[in-house]
Chains A and B, each alone.
Chain A
Amino acid sequence: MSVLFQQLANGVIQGALIALIALGYTMVYGIIQLINFAHGEVFMVASYGGLATFTLLPDDLKKSPAVALPLMFVGGIVVAVIVAVIMERFAYRPLRNAPRLAPLITALGVSVFLQEAVRVFYPNAKSNLPYPKVFPEGNLTIGSVNISWTGILLVALSVGLAVILQTYINRSRMGRAMRATAQDPDTAKLMGVNPDRVIVLTFVIGAVLAGVAGIMFGGYLNNINIDMGFQNGIFAFTAAVLGGVGSIRGAVIGAFIIGLIKTVAGQYMPGGTQYDYVWIFVVLILVLVFRPQGLFGEPERVRA
């Protein structure tokens, strides 16, 4: 029984990480119907940004986590936001009115570009890099279930930020502008909404969340590599589709479902951990067969 609880805890932690990234996918899709495949790379770049910040700190600050950790978050998020804004401005905005396939291919190109850029220009990025130990160490032990404090922090950040984001979009003026742009950009424009600003803000919010995820990933797993964006990006994208692309709640719940399937199916299904990815996609296919719009998505609207 304790194994089940341990696996559930592991699944929730993995889900929390995927959720932070999935929010970026789902928001951008909600606003401009673009599947931003480079979003996983924003997450990766943020992780390296945090590591670079730490490396540049003076030695005495490195030893005090209370200073170093917030600075790493700031550094990682700033890098992620800069990359996302540049990406939006120069790769996606010129293609805003092009057929949907063009920005999609561009997104793949941006993804490869960012990965290779880090590999070539970040010192020693050719192999895994260890992450500094400035995160809360140790475990919370309940019975025989171990949950690391960093994992708990990750879950708290993920759920907290998702709730804040949902509230922001539902309550604030800018949130209303975002919803309006998502529903109908042309009418929103007539009502005085500046779509460019809304779209940039969407990318910025996605990048901030990916930035938090990037730093937490390094802290939780102790090392990072340039492939991390691809692997986790695929999971996050799947989570967004499972939950219904465009839905905030759907992305978060989809992410937790994926985390839980991965660990629980690895434990109990035939084939074990060797086939845990298979079950994720089996569930995805089943959901899409019966609810093509995903768990919380709205059926595809026909645009005027």
Chain B
Amino acid sequence: MRKHSVKSAAIVGASLLVLAACGSNKTEGGGTNGGSCDTSKGTLTVGVVAPLSGNLSALGVGIKQSAELAVDEANKKCTVPGFKLTVSAQDDEANPAKGAQAATKLSTDPNVVGVVGTLNSSVAQTVQPILRDKKIPMVSPANTNPSLTRGNDFLTAPKRQFDNYFRVCTTDDLQGPYAANYLVEKAGKKKIAIITDGKTYGEGLAAELSKQVTKKGGTIVGSEKVGEKDTDFSGVIAKIKALGPEAVYYGGEYPVAGPLSKQMKDNGLDVPLMGGDGIFDPKFIELGGKEGDLATSVGAPTESLATAKAFVDAYKAKFGKEDYAAYGAFSYDATNAIIGGLAKTLEGGAAWDESKRDGMLTNVGAFSGSGATGEIKFDQYGDSTNKVLTVYQVTSAKWKDVQTGTFTG
């Protein structure tokens, strides 16, 4: 037993050294003197759980690197006195089972103070309870399914689900209806066909959109499902084409949406495809997204926000490219919420131990500040109070914002 604990202490120690080494390398790379802060009390870790490989890796890598940027800046500014912060990024491959493994790995590390993630709502469902059991705050930059914070009856009887779970983006019960309003009222598309991939995110989003379309006097002419690994959609397309839709709404992500849009056009169904934040990525256009296709995404366009400019500049300086993708700015804000909560918890030079976890949850929940996406603040369910949404359209092979606002009914 004794031998065992010595061994694990050695491993923890060794990994801390490695982490510290990585961290200091990065600071040197940034060209600033990272040694000016007091880091005598050791190293604390911000976990990241996101898809770093697989189809959604463009989004996941943006999340990871933006979190690294926030941590780097905090280290330079000595935001958490006495400690050095590092990022430990775990790959969930957009797969709930892999997400659970990643969460378990992070939750067994006593130095993990909080977790940024996940990208997918379906992965969040398995990660939430694992981190709650260890009282580790989880701040998602991208989960938009409303039931994650407010339960399945989120409209009629909202109830806080996990006291460790927060998110900095808005939710599908606003995103879906916002898209519906745009389609029916602004674009004048009354007959909408729906295709989903059957996952938590896509199903929820499409369900919220359907309700609002009907409410605004449009009709849902048909509803179909495609497999996440399907590649030939001609059968589904022929079926909905016969129903004469004026637009197709896809509940899912860009690896399917891009080819689907191209095949729609190839098969003579040349109507716009619209989707949620899951298709809002340059890869969508590369994979076949066509001119006039639409997407909603959470927040205002990153490039247009005054508060985001500093983030974009710093990101570009650190990584050379602006590949922060759809959720980079949100991930940066989520990480800052965790760091802010941590700074508050350790105020006055306290040391980090397990007893701080309760205070940490409270402080992350009470965090407020102005971030790259606007105001960061959480309501009583853990949802962001920032409910801005934007409609984008593919114009000259680029996403261009056409309308920014909040859902007002």
Contact = CB atoms under 8 A, between A and B. Distances in A.
Given A274-B224, A274-B225, A266 B239 contact: yes
Interface stretch (B19-27, B179-187, B256-264, B352-360): B256-264
A263 B232 CA distance: 10
A274 B236 CA distance: 9
Nearest to A151: B234
Contact of A14 (B225, B232, B236): B232
Contact of A276 (B229, B231, B235): B235
A57 B115 CA distance: 45
A148 interface: yes
B241 interface: yes
B268 A146 contact: yes
A55 interface: no
A126 B283 CA distance: 13
A223 interface: yes
A228 interface: yes
Given A128-B55, A263-B235, A273-B236, A223 B287 contact: yes
Nearest to B237: A10
Nearest to B55: A127
B54 interface: yes
A128 B234 contact: no
Interface in A1-52: 2-3, 6-7, 10-11, 13-14, 17
A183 interface: no
B397 interface: no
A267 interface: yes
B287 A3 contact: no
B258 A10 contact: no
A119 to B, nearest CB: 8
Interface SS of A by simple majority: helix
B57 interface: yes
B57 A262 contact: no
A146 B238 CA distance: 9
Interface string B203-238: 000000000000000000000111101111011101
B242 A225 contact: no
A222 B234 contact: no
B231 A273 contact: no
Interface residues of B, number: 34
A187 interface: no
Contact of A10 (B55, B235, B283): B235
B239 A126 contact: no
A2 B244 CA distance: 13
Contacts of B287: 128, 130, 222-223
A122 to B, nearest CB: 13
Contact of A11 (B235, B258, B267): B235
Most buried by B among A11, A17, A126: A126
Contacts of A11: 235
Contact of A221 (B53, B55, B239, B259): B259
Given A139-B266, A141-B268, A272-B224, A225 B239 contact: no
A230 B58 CA distance: 23
Given A126-B53, A222-B262, A273 B225 contact: yes
B231 A221 contact: yes
A3 B53 contact: no
B154 to A, nearest CB: 25
Nearest to B227: A277
A144 B242 CA distance: 10
A10 B234 contact: yes
A128 B287 CA distance: 8
A225 B55 contact: yes
A49 B234 CA distance: 26
A80 B300 CA distance: 47
A276 B236 CA distance: 10
B81 interface: no
Contacts of A225: 55, 231, 255
A170 B267 CA distance: 39
A3 B239 contact: yes
Interface string B278-313: 000001001110000000000000000000000000
A148 B264 CA distance: 12
A220 B229 CA distance: 16
Interface in A199-251: 217, 220-223, 225, 227-228, 230-232
A158 B54 CA distance: 31
A141 to B, nearest CB: 7
Contacts of A221: 231-232, 259, 263
B225 A126 contact: no
B255 A3 contact: no
The 7 A-B pairs with the shortest beta carbon distances in the complex, nearest first, are A10-B234, A263-B235, A146-B268, A274-B225, A6-B238, A3-B242, A266-B235
22 contacts: A2-B242, A6-B241, A6-B267, A7-B238, A7-B239, A10-B238, A17-B232, A126-B53, A127-B54, A127-B55, A127-B57, A127-B58, A128-B255, A128-B258, A139-B268, A146-B267, A221-B231, A222-B262, A266-B235, A266-B236, A273-B235, A274-B225
